[in-house]
Amino acid sequence: MIKIYAPASIGNVGVGFDILGAAITPIDGTLLGDCVSIKSSNTFQLNCYGNFSTHLPSDITKHITWKAWNWFNKKTNKKKPISITLEKNMPIGSGLGSSASSIVASVLAFNYFYKTKLTTIELIKLMGTLEGSISGGIHYDNVAPCYLGGLQLITNDIQYPIQKLPVFKNWLWIIAWPGITVSTSSARNILPLHYSQEECVQNSRNLSTFIHALYTQKSELAIRFMKDTIAEPYRILLIKKFLYIKKTIKKLGALTCNISGSGPTLFSICLNISIANKVKNWLEKNYIKNNQGFVHICKIDQLGARKIRI
């Protein structure tokens, strides 16, 4: 029996639409991510449980874990009976890489079970393709950090398709999911197909300065350039009172307020725990819409997906 845990992630990281992603983990030890366990069995079984398992499609063949299993089953042609358990701890359509978490945990578990020995690049490609099949476009900014941990830059280069970036060790990442969903494909569909020269130049400037600031460890510079001109200006229309929320938490001492992935989760960076707690409390009172929503203070998860003890 093997069990794989795959952490939550923040796609785009406020400045790198589709090309930056960070794996995160709550500092209070909460396991914020899906788990997949598998063992040999006499019959094929796919069982789901966990807080968000009731939101999964009832047609098993539309299930991302089933799609991943189907890929390995065809590839190996072994028809080995298998019992799969998905622990769905991540809310679907939250902007926290929920589908990536299920995909990464499933693919790694099957790669181990079927002894397929795919390379890191082959695994990433497969994960991206599966992600594309459910979110309306292949993007690696959730699957790459979820699999490999840390802050990842997606280059799409043949030899070095992803690169791990340095981070600021003292940054605390507050994430707030209101308890409602936004589908990634609809949040992608509202984006323009064309951008002006000025928007492109500004976006290049923001992203390159941010990366420079990471390598030179200039935290204030990085914060000032954590701005997106490609997705966020359009997506804030999907988030009620976004500008008011941003202004208010900045008054409390938060350094940033951005959309995590395609939303509606917001993330904010704080430098000390007392400010982080104030921001967390404010978001809990003012951004959470029901008892499913949550706010966590997180740090970067450098480990990525991993085997966990059963």
Nearest distance, CB of residue 136 and ligand HSE, angstroms: 8
Return the SS3 of 184. Answer: helix
Q: Among residues 26, 95, 178, 264, which is the contact residue for ligand HSE, using CB under 6 A?
A: 95
Q: Which range binds ligand HSE by CB under 6 A, 136-144, 170-178, 207-215, 216-224?
A: 136-144
Residue 231 marked ligand-binding: no
Residue 91 marked ligand-binding: yes
Query: Cα–Cα–Cα angle for 178, 183, 186, nearest 5°?
Result: 125
Residue 94 marked ligand-binding: yes
Enclosing H/E stretch for 38: strand 33-40
Torsion of CA 41, 43, 48, 54, to 10 degrees: -170
Q: Which is nearer to ligand HSE, 142 or 203 (CB)?
A: 142
Q: Does 261 bind ligand HSE (CB under 6 A)?
A: yes
Q: Which is nearer to ligand HSE, 184 or 206 (CB)?
A: 184
Q: Does 18 bind ligand HSE (CB under 6 A)?
A: yes
**What values do phi and psi take at 127, rounded to 5?**
-60, -40
Q: Does 145 bind ligand HSE (CB under 6 A)?
A: no
**What values do phi and psi take at 306, rounded to 5?**
-155, 155
User: Could you count the other beta carbons within 10 Å of the beta carbon of residue 22?
Assistant: 32
CA 165, CA 127: separation in Å to the nearest integer? Answer: 20
Q: Does 152 bind ligand HSE (CB under 6 A)?
A: no
Residue 149 marked ligand-binding: no
Q: Which is nearer to ligand HSE, 19 or 249 (CB)?
A: 19
Q: Does 11 bind ligand HSE (CB under 6 A)?
A: yes
CA 260, CA 141: separation in Å to the nearest integer? Answer: 11
Q: Does 34 bind ligand HSE (CB under 6 A)?
A: no
Q: Among residues 101, 184, 229, 268, which is the contact residue for ligand HSE, using CB under 6 A?
A: 184
As a whole number of Å, the end-to-end CA separation of the chain is 8
Write out the two tokens for 115: 């002894």
Return the SS3 of 76. Answer: helix
Residue 97 marked ligand-binding: yes
Residues lying near ligand HSE in the complex (CB under 6 A): 11-12, 17-18, 95, 139, 141-142, 184, 187-188, 231, 261-262
